[in-house]
Amino acid sequence: MNQMPATPSGTRRTRGRPRDWDDKTDQNTIKSLDRAMEVFEHLSTTQGAALSTLASDLGQSPATVYRILVTLEGRGLVEFDATDQVWHIGPRAFVIGARYLRRTSLVERARPIMRALMQATGETANLGIRRGGDVLFLSQVETHESIRAFFPPGTLSPLHASGIGKALLAEMAEDQLAGFLRDAPLQGFTRHTTTTPEAVRAEVAATRARGYAFDAEEKTLGMRCIAAPVFDYNGEAVAGISVSGPVSRVADDQIARLSAAVTDAARALTQAIGGAPRAPVSAQP
């Protein structure tokens, strides 16, 4: 049997990593690859961008950005729309992302629960996690209704202006919440968006009191969302599950029914991943 070479200390070196794998200094990074990933990641946050815009946003020369884009295009990671003269994320990026999602038990275990939630409520079911100051949507089961919400996997939405985001904010400890309110821009999207720390704190308190979050046209006029948190085995809120739909269907007289279905789904997903809800977080003054 082949033996892994031992390090001078006698410990075995981890397969797939060189001796200095944890050294992140310049000598162990590939600058051109890092620059390419910066372009790729920035493009992924847009709905399409022109070469000049990308170069300006990233502070790189158009020639450099163009070479990167052409290289990524060859791998199917980006594509060029000749009509509009803009670059987009390509289909290969979705394939790679889907492979990641397949190894994520949260997404796998959420799918049947989300399908059941959509069928029970008649509205689109969503799954999202926190990514910095945003919600990153991982999965969605769409309603069959012609008018419906649409958050494809990879969509980002600010925490303060989304149902799942507010559900996750309500589970933050006070120091985390204070840090978020200190650093987040709290951008306004509609006349209903909460855009001050005081308003966000009031929303957090209301969410904690009723046990679910409610987004009333705060990101998109005419759309509402009801969300609840999902917990891991440490009792940490690691995700949120929600239903979203037009005001005409997510009407005031339907909120009790829809919120009960959402909180039941969140509990079911928490149990499915071996989680346990922690004690409710007290509202802060």
Q: How far apart are CA 154 and CA 156, in angstroms?
A: 6
pLDDT digits 0-9 by tens, 136-145: 999 999 998 8
Output the CA torsion 16→33→57→219 (10° steps). -30
Q: Tell me the mean pLDDT in the region 104-127.
A: 94
* Residue 265 near residue 228 (C-beta atoms within 8 A): yes
In this prediction, residue 4 carries a pLDDT of 45
> For residue 278, what are the contacts with CB-CB under 8 A and spacing of at least 6?
231, 235, 236
pTM for the structure as a whole: 0.67
- Distances 177 to 164, 170, 184, 246 between C-alpha atoms, Å: 15, 8, 10, 29
Taking residues 89-107, what's their average pLDDT? 77
Q: What number is the average pLDDT over the span 52-63?
A: 94
> Given this model, what pLDDT does residue 127 score?
97
Mean pLDDT of the residues in the chain:
87
Tokens of 49: 């961008």
The pLDDT tens digits for 259-275 are: 999 999 999 999 998 88
Average pLDDT over residues 243-265: 97
Categorize the per-residue pLDDT at 2 as very low, low, confident or very high, splitting at 50, 70 and 90: very low
Share of the chain above pLDDT 90, in %: 71
Q: What is the pLDDT of residue 170?
A: 97
In which band, very low, low, confident or very high, does the pLDDT at 101 lie, cut at 50, 70 and 90? Answer: low
Domains and CATH numbers, the chain: 26-94 (1.10.10.10), 104-272 (3.30.450.40)
CB count in 10 Å sphere of residue 105: 11
Determine the pLDDT at residue 29.
Answer: 67
Largest CA distance in the chain: 70
- Reading the block at residue 194, the tokens are 């909460």
Question: Would you state the pLDDT for residue 116?
Answer: 98
pLDDT of 117 strictly over 70:
yes
Q: Which of 36-50, 97-111, 199-213 has the lowest mean pLDDT?
A: 97-111
Composition of the chain by helix, strand, coil, percent to 5: 45, 20, 40
pLDDT attached to residue 18: 53
- pLDDT band per the 50, 70, 90 thresholds, residue 47: confident
* pLDDT over 80 (residue 207): yes
